[in-house]
Structure 1
Amino acid sequence: MSSIAVIGLGAMGRPIARNLLKAGHDVMVWNRSDGPADELVAAGARRADSVAEAMHMPVVFSVLSDDQAVAETFIDSGALARTADGTVHVNLATVRAGLARRASAAHAEHGVGYIAAPVFGRVPVAEAGALNILAAGEPALIDRVQPLFDVIGSRTWRLGDRPEQANIVKILGNYLIACAVQSLGEAVSVAERAGVDSGQFVDLLTSTLFPGAVYSGYGSMIAERRYQPAGFTTVLGRKDLHLALQAAADHDIPLPIGQLLRAVFEQAIADGRGSDDWAVIAEQQPR
């Protein structure tokens, strides 16, 4: 049995913490609001009164929403200076490469291990313990937490010894999902205008040319215009798109489709669809 803290109990953090509990681990939880923590305490977790208390656990998973939340919680708060010796922090958030480098340096300064481990998989995948984990950092640290990764994921992809390498891969993966959603929306809109049943059209595509979770999952959402409950919101999708554009600019690589998508996301959010699933960008196409 391992002792682990989970910081951030949103849509992904809760099932991750719950699966660790079910596997028999000693789990401490912390969240800005009490409700999600109450639920997990009732299931057997221990509550941390502060981030600093949680950082005294040997392993800490954090599942926060963006760069600002990560920086405020760990780097700017002084929490690292109060972290127990030998603690390993596993950051599951999707953050920009620059913040990953800053976080890695800050953790090293205070003698705290740091691994970047963003994931591929929506909430049902997290609930099933079948996430794909994109891990980068010191190999010995990844070895140490691998048994915990095996609880929450189906496969760990080791992507390098620099944490930002995992974040770059996650950002680019999400960029390709956004491209797929946009192309699906365009194709479905033309099919519907031509009198083709959109559900049958998507079923045909995903059974032949484009099998896989992205086209089948998002294709059915677009065909049915089903954007709630949101597995990943439009606001978060825009954030990750901006991370991809920034990463490309850092390496002097143009992303022409990304520039188009920037306008699509901005318009969707301006239309009040920010809290819908990001597949709603397909609604920017005339239907």
Structure 2
Amino acid sequence: MKIGFIGLGAIGTPMAHNLVAAGLDVTVWNRTADKCKPLVEAGATQGDSPADCAACDVLITMLADDAALSALVEEHDLIGALGQTTVHVNMATVSIDFAKAMAEQHAAAGKTYIAAPVLGRPDIAKAGKLQIVAAGDADAIETARPAFDVMGAKVWPVGTDAYRANVIKLATNYMLMAAVETMGEAAALTASYDVEPGDFLEIVTSSVFAAPAYQGYAPAMAQRDYDNPEGFKLALGAKDVDLALAAGHANNVALPVGAAVRERLAEGMAAGEGDLDLSALAEGSRRAAHLDD
């Protein structure tokens, strides 16, 4: 199987590395060409253009947002470059409207498109333990399954409409933002009564909230060390909450918790914390509680 991989960011890079390490024939392309070098050294082929990736059996795109994939599609005629039997797997977090448009554009061109966003942080991607939520033609999902099995611990097929996978991803990230925000608020509450945040966080993440959503962010929050190049950036969290809120508004689904969390995310970005790990949300709660005065 030949796999094309476009988008070598914090999660895309370890995903691609795992495909190469598994002995699959991988062609990579990235706007910043230097990011391809470690993969080439590991055994991948560097494509001269996105079309080289699109000519493979499976094309995986893992870009930051709607705009990045839209630009790729328009500038490089990516859909036109797909082979007649190529399965385009979009594994990024995108809006529902964009997910629907992508499926429609591929169908109009007679090409195959599925959505398969991933659940997990870069360290989970590196370990090949991502949860993959896949939607689209069942046969196409099976075509991509050898790649999924290398990158993830489990594949969750959720129907034939590609956007269904994307709404599940957005809903999951929406819950994650709320979880990290409430953990930061609770840590600020206990700190105001002279309880060390690390002590509180160790207790709750080892008992009532012994789950990855909490355990993955508690250590950085306890140490107030948010400079993690492999973390989930606070600004990306804001983007995902925006997408979830837009999806809710489109179907008249109220998401009041998300609106509150979005304000905290805006505050964090205004404080210059957008490129820090999502756990930096805790700093907003500390500021509000005047804990560092």
Could you say which TM-score interval applies, normalised by the shorter chain? over 0.9
TM-score, normalization: structure 2?
0.95
1:104-136: per-residue Cα shift (whole Å, max 9, x none)?
011112222111011011111111111000101
Q: Which amino acid counterpart does residue 4 of structure 1 have in structure 2?
A: I
1:53-80: per-residue Cα shift (whole Å, max 9, x none)?
2111111111100000111112564221
| Structure 1 partner of 2:79 | 80
| Structure 1 partner of 2:233 | 233
| Structure 2 partner of 1:55 | 54
Determine the C-alpha separation between the residues in 1 that align with 2:95 and 2:190. 37
| Structure 1 partner of 2:264 | 264
Give percent identity, aligned residues only. 38
| Structure 1 partner of 2:206 | 207
Q: Which amino acid counterpart does residue 82 of structure 1 have in structure 2?
A: A
Q: Which amino acid counterpart does residue 239 of structure 2 have in structure 1?
A: K
Determine the C-alpha separation between the residues in 1 that align with 2:59 and 2:234. 28
Structure 2 stretches lacking a partner, 5+ long: none
Determine the C-alpha separation between the residues in 2 that align with 1:82 and 1:46. 18
Q: Which amino acid counterpart does residue 166 of structure 1 have in structure 2?
A: A
Determine the C-alpha separation between the residues in 2 that align with 1:203 and 1:261. 23
Q: 1:86·1:111 contact (CA, 8 Å) conserved in 2?
A: no
Equivalent positions of 1:1-287 (< 5 A) are 2-75=1-74, 77-230=76-229, 231-286=231-286, 287=291
Q: 1:132·1:155 contact (CA, 8 Å) conserved in 2?
A: yes
CA apart distance, 1:201: 0.9
Secondary structure in 2 matching 1:157: strand
Q: Which amino acid counterpart does residue 18 of structure 2 have in structure 1?
A: N
Determine the C-alpha separation between the residues in 1 that align with 2:26 and 2:78. 19
Determine the C-alpha separation between the residues in 2 that align with 1:149 and 1:139. 14
CA apart distance, 1:147: 1.5
Q: Which amino acid counterpart does residue 24 of structure 2 have in structure 1?
A: H
Q: Which amino acid counterpart does residue 111 of structure 2 have in structure 1?
A: V
Secondary structure in 1 matching 2:135: strand
CA apart distance, 1:27: 0.4
Determine the C-alpha separation between the residues in 2 that align with 1:31 and 1:261. 33
Determine the C-alpha separation between the residues in 1 that align with 2:41 and 2:3. 17
Determine the C-alpha separation between the residues in 2 that align with 1:80 and 1:255. 35
Determine the C-alpha separation between the residues in 2 that align with 1:114 and 1:279. 34
Q: 2:27·2:52 contact (CA, 8 Å) conserved in 1?
A: no
CA apart distance, 1:167: 0.4
Cα RMSD for the two superposed structures: 1.1
Q: 1:90·1:115 contact (CA, 8 Å) conserved in 2?
A: yes
Determine the C-alpha separation between the residues in 2 that align with 1:111 and 1:225. 51
Q: 2:120·2:130 contact (CA, 8 Å) conserved in 1?
A: yes
Determine the C-alpha separation between the residues in 1 that align with 2:197 and 2:268. 21
Secondary structure in 2 matching 1:160: coil
Secondary structure in 2 matching 1:29: strand
Determine the C-alpha separation between the residues in 2 that align with 1:181 and 1:90. 29
Q: Count residues in correspondence.
A: 286
Determine the C-alpha separation between the residues in 2 that align with 1:210 and 1:75. 44
Q: 1:80·1:107 contact (CA, 8 Å) conserved in 2?
A: yes
Q: Which amino acid counterpart does residue 227 of structure 1 have in structure 2?
A: Y
Determine the C-alpha separation between the residues in 2 that align with 1:107 and 1:122. 29
CA apart distance, 1:282: 1.4
Runs of 4+ that moved beyond 4 A: none
Q: Which amino acid counterpart does residue 214 of structure 1 have in structure 2?
A: A
CA apart distance, 1:220: 2.1
Q: 2:217·2:278 contact (CA, 8 Å) conserved in 1?
A: no
Secondary structure in 1 matching 2:274: coil
Q: 1:75·1:103 contact (CA, 8 Å) conserved in 2?
A: no
CA apart distance, 1:234: 1.3
Determine the C-alpha separation between the residues in 2 that align with 1:174 and 1:264. 15
Q: 2:54·2:83 contact (CA, 8 Å) conserved in 1?
A: yes
Secondary structure in 2 matching 1:210: coil
